[in-house]
Structure 1
Amino acid sequence: MGPIRYIVYLFPILTIAALLGFFLWYAQTMRAPLAQQLAPLPEKRPFTFAGRRHPLVKKDAIPMVLITIAYAVTAFFNLGSTTAPQNPWDFGDEKSATFAFSEEYLASKLWYFCGLGTGKYQVEISADGVNWLSLWQRKDDPDDSEKVTGYYWADGTGYGASYAMTQNYNQLFKWNEITFDNPQYIRYIRITGQANKGLLELNELALFDENGDRIWLSDSTNPLFDEADTVPETISFENSAYFDEIYHPRTAYEHLRGVEPYEISHPPLGKLIMSVGIALFGMTPFGWRFMGTLFGVAMLPLLYLFLKNLFGRTSIATCGTILLAVDFMHLTQTRLATIDTYAFFFILLMYYFMYRYLTLPDGASFKQCALPLFLSGLFWGIGAASKWTVIYGCTGLVALYFIGLVVKLRRWPEEERHQRAGWTVKILAFSVLVFAVIPAIIYVLSYLPYAAASGDLSLGNLLSEMWENQKYMLSYHNGVTSSHPYSSRWYEWLVNARPILYYMDNSVAGVTTRFAAFLNPVVCWGSLVAMLVCAAQAFRPLWAKLTFFGLSGLGGAASAAWVTGVFDPETDTQTRLLCLVLIVALLALYLVLGWFVSRTFRQSSPIALFILIGYLAQLVPWFFIGRITFAYHYFPSVLFLILALCYVFYTLSKKEEMVPWKPAMYAVTGGAAALYALFYPVLVGITYPSWYGTCILKWFPAWPF
C-alpha cells in the first residue's frame, strides 16, 4: 500500500492536538490572574448541593426528540434478522428421527441451526433406505489430535455411533456449517441425539449442492426442513448469535420456557428484561437485541433531563446528549444482547434521582425528599438485580447520600431547628427501607424463574435458589483466570488502548466485516482531562486537591504494579523492571498534571464532587480485581465522563461575557460526531474495503481494524 497507509496516524495526532488546544485555551480562560493567585482565598462559602432547579421547558423538546430519533435510526439499522427457525425437534433422551425426501439430492454441505441444550448427533444418510453411511469427523492435525479438520461419510457397520455433529454451548442459536469431504446422494436422513442433560433441540437443517448452491426441497414440510424461508444467504452476526449472545439470550429464552437457566454468573433481572423482546419478536437476532437497543435509545432523553437539571442550559444538555449518542461503545454495546446496557441505564436513573434529592432546598420536608430517594433506591435495586457492577455505583450513592445528609443538617434553617431531629429519624428509617429492604426484595423476587424451573415456588426454595446462586457467582468471578486476545486492564480503558473485537469476517478478499467496543476518542481523551478538572474543583483547599491526586495516583500505581506482575517473582526481571519504570513515569506525569490543575482551578463545586464520586465508584473497584477484564467493563463510567466534559462547558459558560465559549463546545461535539460517522462501519458491522481499516481506522497497532 506504500506511504499512503501512514495517513492513518494523522487522525489521532489531529484529534489529540485539537483536544490539547481546547483544554489549554480552557485553562488560560479559567486561570485566575497572578495577583488573585497570590492573594488569600476569598471568604469561604458554605458547601451545599442545594440550588436552583432547572426543569425542562418547551424549547428542550426539539433537540431532545431530534437527537433521540436520529440516534434510534443509526442504532436499529442492520440490528439483526427478524426471522430464525422457531420450531425445534427435541433429540434429548437419545431420541432418533428419520426423514425421507421425494427424490435424492447430491449434497456437499450442511447447515444446521441449534436450539436449546447441548450434546451431539449421529447423522446417517441413505440413497435407498437400505444402505446407510454415517458422518465422521476427520482429525489428522499432527499438532492437535482433537482438532477437527474435516467431515466425511463412511459405512459405520461394525463401529459405534460417530456423533460427529456437535451442539456445544457456543453453537447455540446460530447457523453452523459442515462441509463434506466426499459429497453423497441423500434421500433419507436419520439423526440420533445424545444430550449432555435434558433438552437437545435442533431447529432447522439446510443442504447445499456441489456448487455450494442451496438445495430447495420439493417437500419442505418435513420437520427440520419446514422453515426454509429462515435460511440466510450467508452466515453472519445478522442471523446468528455472537460473543456473549451465546449466554444471555439463551438464558432469557430459558426463562420464558420455564427451564433451568444456563447462564447463572449474573443476577437474573437483566435476562428477564431481554426476554420481553424475545416474547415480542421471537427467538430471533432482532428479538434478543431489541430491548438492549431500546434501552440505549431511552438513555438519551434521560441524560438530556439529567444535564438540564445539572447545568440549566439547553445548549449544554444538547451537546452532552449528542456526545452519548455518538459514543462508540454506547452504540456497539447496546446493540449487543448482553446485560451491560441495563446496568448503565439504571445507574443513570439512580444517580439522577439522588441528585434531585441532594439539590432540594435546605429544610425540605420529608415528603419532598421521599420521592427522589424512593426512585433512586428503586432503580438501584433493579440495577443490582440485573448486574453486580451496579453495586459498585451504590458505593457512590452512599457517599453522596451521607455527604448530603451532613450538609442538610448543618444548613438547616434556624427557625425550623426543632424539626431537624424528627426529620433525621424519618429520613434515615425511610432510607433503610428504599436502599436496603426494597432492593433486597427486588433481588430475591428476580429469582422466581429459578424457583419455577425447579418446580417449587415456596419462599424457602426461592431463598435457597438465590443464596446458592450468590455463592456460585462469587466463586465464578473470583476464578475467571482464562486468557483472551482482546482482554484489557482498567488503565488501558482510560486511553482506549485495547478495544474488544466482537465480530470479524474476512471470508471475501479485499473487504472485511468487523465491529468492536471502544470509546469515541473525543469522549475518551477529552473527558479524561475534564475529569481531572472535576477532581481539582471537587475540593476547595489546595492541600485537599493535592492530597486527592497523591492518594489516587499511588493507589492506581499500586494496582497497576500488582496486575502487571511487578511484585510477582515468577515474572521475568526485565519485564518487571520495564513495567516499574513505566508506572513510575506515568505516576510522575499524573502528579504533575494534578499539581497543574490544582493550581489553575482554585474554585470548588459540589457538581464536580458529584461527578468525581460517581466516576470513581465505577472505576476504582476494578483496581482490586485480578480476573480477566475487558473494555466494556468501562461502559458505566462513560456516563460520568460525559458529565465531566459538560461540566467544563458549564464553567466556560459562566464567562460568556469574556469568551466565545459556545463555538468551542460545538467544535468538540462536532468533532465527536465526525468520528462517529468515520467509524460507523466498525460499530454496526458494515462491510468495508480492507484499505479503509488500514488507512483510516487503525489509529494504533492494538486497534483491530
Structure 2
Amino acid sequence: MPAALSKALADRPFTVGLLIAVVAQILFMVNLGRPITPYFDEMHYVPAAKTLMSLTIPRNIEHPLLGKQLIALGIWLFGDNTLGWRIIATLAGTASVVAGYAFVLLLLRAMRPAVVAAVLLMLNQILFIQARIAMLDVFLGAFLLWALVVLLWSARAPDSRSAWFRWIGGSVLLGLAVGVKWAAIPYVALAGMAFVVLRIRDTLKARRPLGSTLAGQGQAHWPGIGTLPGLLTMGAVSVTVYLATFWPAFFYEVEPMTFARLIPFQREMYELQTQILPPHTYQSQWWSWPLMIRPIWYFYEFSDGAQRGVLLVGNPVILWGGLVAILACIWSWFRTRQIAPLAVALLWIASLAIYIVIPKSLGFFYYYHLSAMFICLALAVAFHSFEFARRRGLEEWFAAASFVMFLYFYPIISGAALSEGSAFHRWMWFRSWL
C-alpha cells in the first residue's frame, strides 16, 4: 500500500472501520441462500424463532430468548426463507469483525494491527460459517466483543461522566450477551475481575496506599468510577438487561411467563442445560478444540442440483499459528511487562478454561467460536509486539497465507457445488475429520 494512502487511512479510523464492515458483509452474504433448507441447529432455532413471532407456546426453553428474537427479526423483515433466517447472523458476524478491529485499535492505538485483526477474523472460517447460519453463537460473540470494546473505551475516558456512560453501555452489552446464551455469564465475572486487577495494578504502579484502589478519583483508568460502585453497577445493569430479554415470554398464549415465575424459571433452564445427554457423533473435549481434532459436518447432501457441504473447520494457518501467538504474547509480557499482550493471551486461555468447569455433559467444536476470535486478536497483538515482525511485514505474509488457506477450504465451508458425493475426501487431512 502506498505510504501516502496508508497515512491517510491511519488518520481516519472510522472510515477504515466502515470499509472493513462493507467487505465483511459482502463476504458473509455471497451465496447466503445455500443450503436452501434449514441445516444443523437451524432445525431448532428457526422453528423457535417462528414460535416467538406467533407467541403461541414456549419452545427451546433451555436457552434465553434474545438470539431467537434476532433470528425472528430477520424472518419478519425478509420472510420465512434462507435470507430471513440468516441475514441478522451476517450482520452479527460483521459486527464481530468491526469489534475486533476497534478492540485492537483501542488496546494498541495503532491502525496496522487493528486491520490485521479484522482480516484474520474474516478468514478464520469459524466466524465465516457461524455468520451464515441461524444459530446463537454469532450473536453471543458480537455482543461480548462489543462489550469488551466499550469497557476498554470506558477505561480510556477523559472524565467521570464519559467513563460512567461507557461503563453502563458495556454492562448493557454484557447483559445482552447473557440474553443470547448463558455461556456469557463467566465473561461478566471476568470483566469484573479484570477491572479490580487493573485497579490494583494502577495503585501499585503509582505507589499509593492499597486502600485507594476503592476510590473513584485520581485513577489512571475509569476516572470517577469507584471500584465497588462500578462492580455493583455492572452486576445490576447486566442482570436487569438479561431479565428484560424475557419480556416476549409474558405474552405466550400457552404458559405465559409471570414475574413470580421468572426467577424460578432460571432453575428450569439450568436443569435443561446440565442434563446428561446421550453420546453424539460429533462430540469432542475442550482440549481438542485448539487442535481441531473433531470438526463438525453441519451439512453434506445433494441439494439444489449438486452435492454440497458445510464443514465447521477452522483456518489451520490462523488457529494453529495462533497457538504460537499466545505463547509469544506471554513471552512479550515477561520481556516488556506490557499489559496488552498478556491481556489477549489470558482472554483466550480463560475462554477455553471456562469449559473445564461448565457443567456440560457434551462438548462440540462450535463452542470454540469465541476462542477462535480471541486468537485472531492475539495474533495481531503478537506481530505488533515484536519489532522484527513489523519491520519485515510478517503479518502481511501471514494474512496472505491465511487467505490462500481460506480459498482452499471455501468450497466445503460455503455450501458450494462439489463435483461428486465423495469429493469431500480432498479436504480430509485426518481420519478424525471424516
Q: Same fold (TM over 0.5)?
A: yes
Give the structure 1 partner of residue 182 of structure 2: 388
Preserved CA contact (<8 Å) 1:448 1:462: no
Is 2:78–2:84's contact at 8 Å kept on the other side of the alignment? yes
Q: How does 1:523-538 map to 2 (within 5 A)?
A: 523-538=318-333
What value does the CA root-mean-square deviation take over the aligned residues?
2.8
Q: Which runs of 5+ in 2 are unaligned?
A: 1-8
Determine whether 1:605 maps to 2:338: yes
Matched, 1:623 2:353: no
Distance in 2 of aligned mates of 1:508 and 1:351: 41
Q: 1:693 aligns with which of 418, 424, 433?
A: 424
Residues 471-507 of structure 1, C-alpha deviation per residue, up to 9 Å, x if partnerless? 2221122214212111211111111111111111158
Query: 3-state SS of the aligned residue for 1:247?
Result: helix
**Partner residue in 2 for 1:401:** 195
Residue pair 1:280, 1:287 contacting (<8 A) in 2 also: yes
SS in structure 1 of the partner of residue 300 of structure 2: strand
Identical aligned residues as a percent: 22
Choose the corresponding residue for 2:53, options 237, 253, 256.
256
Task: Count residues in correspondence.
Answer: 417
**Preserved CA contact (<8 Å) 1:351 1:376:** yes
Residue of structure 2 in register with 1:443 after alignment: 242
Shift of 1:78: 1.9
Q: Secondary structure at the match of 1:512?
A: strand
Is 1:636 aligned to residue 370 of structure 2?
yes
**Are 1:683 and 2:416 matched, yes or no?**
no
Quote the residue 1:280 is aligned against: 77
What is aligned with 2:282?
A: 486
| Contact persistence 2:196–2:227 (CA under 8 A) | no
State yes or no: 1:73 paired with 2:26.
Answer: yes
Question: Distance between the aligned counterparts of 2:351 and 2:272, measured in 1?
Answer: 21
Counting strand residues as a fraction of each chain, which structure ranks higher?
Answer: 1
Cα deviation, residue 401, structure 1: 0.8
| Residue-by-residue CA offset, 1:604-630 (whole Å, 9 max, x unaligned) | 321122113322332112113451111
The verdict on how the C-alpha distance between 1:339 and 1:465 changes in structure 2, with shifts beyond 3 A counting, is farther
Question: Structure 1 CA distance, aligned partners of 2:212 and 2:279?
Answer: 61
Tell me whether 1:674 sits opposite 2:432 in the alignment. Answer: no
> Partner of 2:161 in structure 1?
367
Change (3 A) 1:292 1:507: closer
Aligned mates of 1:491, 1:433 — CA distance in 2: 34
Shift in Å, 1:508: 10
Cα deviation for residue 71 of structure 1 reads 2.8
Contact kept? 2:296, 2:365, Cα under 8 Å = yes
Q: 1:507 to 1:647 in 2, by over 3 A?
A: closer
Does the C-alpha gap of structure 1 residues 508 and 702 become closer, same or farther in structure 2, counting only changes over 3 Å? Answer: farther
**Are residues 399 and 616 of structure 1, via their aligned partners in 2, closer, same or farther at CA, if it must alter by over 3 Å?**
farther
Classify 1:372/1:639 alpha carbon distance in 2 versus 1 (closer, same or farther; 3 Å): farther
What's the TM-score, normalizing by structure 2?
A: 0.87
After superposition, give the CA deviation of every residue in 1:305-339 in whole Å (9 maximum; x if it has no partner): 22222223322222221111111111111111011
In structure 2, relative to structure 1, the CA distance for the partners of 1:678 and 1:418 (3 Å cut) is: closer
- Mapped pair 1:427 → 2:226: yes
- Taking structure 1 as reference, are residues 421 and 508 closer, same or farther at Cα in structure 2, changes over 3 Å only? closer
What is the CA-CA distance between 1:467 and the residue it aligns to?
2.5
Of 274, 299, 305, which residue of structure 2 is paired with 1:503? 299
Partner of 2:3: none
Task: Give the Cα separation in 1 of the matches to 2:15 and 2:238.
Answer: 36
Pair 407,520 (structure 1): closer, same or farther in 2 beyond 3 Å: same
Higher CA-based Rg: 1
Whole-angstrom distance in 1 between the partners of 2:419 and 2:346: 43
Q: Does 1:294 align with 2:25?
A: no
The Cα of 1:285 is off from its aligned counterpart by 2.1
Change (3 A) 1:436 1:64: closer
Structure 1: 5+ residue runs without aligned partners?
1-55, 81-235, 541-601
Post-superposition CA distance 1:526-582 (Å, at most 9, x none): 1111112223344x4xxxxxxxxxxxxxxxxxxxxxxxxxxxxxxxxxxxxxxxxxx
Change (3 A) 1:349 1:613: same
Give 3-state SS (helix, strand or coil) of 1:502's partner: strand
Using the TM superposition, give the Cα deviation of residue 369 of structure 1 relative to its aligned residue in structure 2, in angstroms. Answer: 2.5
CA distance in 2, matches of 1:68, 1:419: 39
CA-CA distance at 1:262 after TM superposition: 1.1
Q: 2:262 aligns with which of 440, 444, 466?
A: 466
Q: Does 1:378 align with 2:172?
A: yes
Structure 2 counterparts to residues 191-270 of structure 1, below 5 A:
237-238=35-36, 240-270=37-67
Q: Which has the higher contact order (CA 8 A, sep 6+)?
A: 2
Q: Which residue of 2 aligns with 1:517?
A: 312
Q: How far apart, CA to CA, are the structure 1 residues paired with 2:162 and 2:23?
A: 36
Given the two structures, how large is their TM-score scaled by the length of structure 1?
A: 0.55
- Which residue identity lines up with residue 197 of structure 2 in the other structure? I
Cα distance between partner residues in 2 of 1:76 and 1:255:
25
Superposition map of 1:150-161 within 5 A: none
Match of 1:309 among 106, 109, 118: 106
